[in-house]
Amino acid sequence: MVKCKLCGERAVVKIRYAKTYLCPKHFTEFIERKVKKSLIRYRMVSRGSKMAVAISGGKDSAVMLHVLSKLSKDMGFNLIAIHIDLGIEGYSEKCVDAVLSLTSSLGIKCLVVRLKDLVGRGVGDLARITKRPPCSVCGIVKRYLINAVSIELGVDAVALGHNADDIIAYTFKSFMLQDLESIPKLGPKTESIDDLAVGRVRPLYEVYERETLIYALVNKVPFVQDRCPLMPRKSLEFKIKDVFTDLEYSMPGIKLSYLKNLAKRLSDYPKPGTPVRSCGVCGLISSEPKCGFCKLTERVTGRALGKEVRDRLKSLIINLV
């Protein structure tokens, strides 16, 4: 039996880059300390601040909320959860159930925003009608609604559940395609832009995907294990993850080195060439006269729905609060 290096109990995980074996209790503490260090190092939160947590129902955002719930008591910040129900038949229902189970157990308020209630269709229909990849449409919808809700809630930041492997894949893909302007947006923290966008933080910036899965299992955190049925079987991001997983095995800690050095050098990357502005329809952040969400909904329904959606979100928030 392999024993925990700290207490001698049965170990459940080997942390290669830390050269240690840990039991469930000490692994949990290890991850929570790691997230706390990231919150402090990257100045993601301050005492008395209010943070929205975007939770999908998957393991990463569920673990993020579970950890932040513990840390918020010690660090003195407040949490509210946001879940976007994307209207994916047979899948979104499971996500809502997992999210409400978790937020209820933690005593955290959760705002569930249903896409079908706002625009009359789920993300699959939007993708089919516009002939765009489902993941592209999903990204537009989630980014818009999470930002819109966060602005109406008046939070200081919104936490996203991207783990270390996700961020490596996204930034490496951007570098390969020479989309260098996108890289600073994928760092541990982005700043708010008054009345246009709420700043985003990534508390799992230095937590590996394997670690979030183990944390969820040993702490019995409810999450949906099914894969999203609209997600492609294989993509460039998956291939990049595979490459870095192989590198990590032979060079433990290479992922952390990549991420820490990336965070230090984000300011070296070019700023967006197109200045941000407010959307002429809904007033939120855009690089063009109309934001992506308003253009998407106009193409599907015949009219841009951003302003109407924001008005409906205000009503949802009033009822929640």
Task: State the pLDDT at residue 234.
Answer: 80
pLDDT in tens, 273-282: 778 899 999 9
In one letter, which amino acid is 7? C
Q: Contact 34/21 with Cβ under 8 angstroms?
A: no
Domain ranges within the chain, ordered by starting residue:
24-320
Is a pLDDT exceeding 80 seen at residue 142? yes
Reply yes or no on domain 24-320 having CATH 3.40.50.740.
no
pLDDT in tens, 171-200: 999 999 999 999 999 999 999 999 999 999
Place of tokens 């910040």: 77
Is a pLDDT exceeding 80 seen at residue 169? yes
pLDDT class of 212 with cuts at 50, 70, 90: very high
Task: State the pLDDT at residue 213.
Answer: 98
pLDDT class of 126 with cuts at 50, 70, 90: very high
Q: Which residues, 6+ apart, have CB-to-CB distance to 169 below 8 Å? A: 237, 238, 240, 241, 244
Task: State the pLDDT at residue 272.
Answer: 78
Percent of the chain with pLDDT over 90: 93
Average pLDDT of every residue of the chain: 96
Task: State the pLDDT at residue 232.
Answer: 83
Task: State the pLDDT at residue 298.
Answer: 97
Task: State the pLDDT at residue 274.
Answer: 76
Is a pLDDT exceeding 90 seen at residue 92? yes
pLDDT class of 321 with cuts at 50, 70, 90: low
CA distances from 53 to 50, 63, 73, 173, 286 (A): 10, 11, 15, 26, 23
pLDDT in tens, 156-166: 999 999 999 99
DSSP per-residue letters across 176-231: HTT-GGGGGGGSSB---BTTTB--EE-TTTT--HHHHHHHHHHTT-----SPPTTS
Task: State the pLDDT at residue 271.
Answer: 82
Place of tokens 């809700």: 149
- Nearest CA to 166 out of 218, 197, 206 is that of 206
- Nearest CA to 209 out of 8, 31, 23, 20 is that of 31
Q: Which residues, 6+ apart, have CB-to-CB distance to 257 below 8 Å? A: none
CA distances from 185 to 98, 206, 242 (A): 29, 16, 23
DSSP per-residue letters across 136-185: HHHHHHHHHHHHHHHHHHT-SEEE----HHHHHHHHHHHHHTT-GGGGGG
Taking the C-alpha atoms of residue 2 and residue 161, their distance in angstroms, rounded to an integer, is: 31
Instruction: Calculate mean pLDDT across residues 96-102.
Output: 98
* DSSP category for residue 268: G
- Secondary structure of residue 90 in the 3-state scheme: coil
Structure tokens at 210: 């394997």
Is a pLDDT exceeding 70 seen at residue 101? yes
pLDDT in tens, 143-156: 999 999 999 999 99
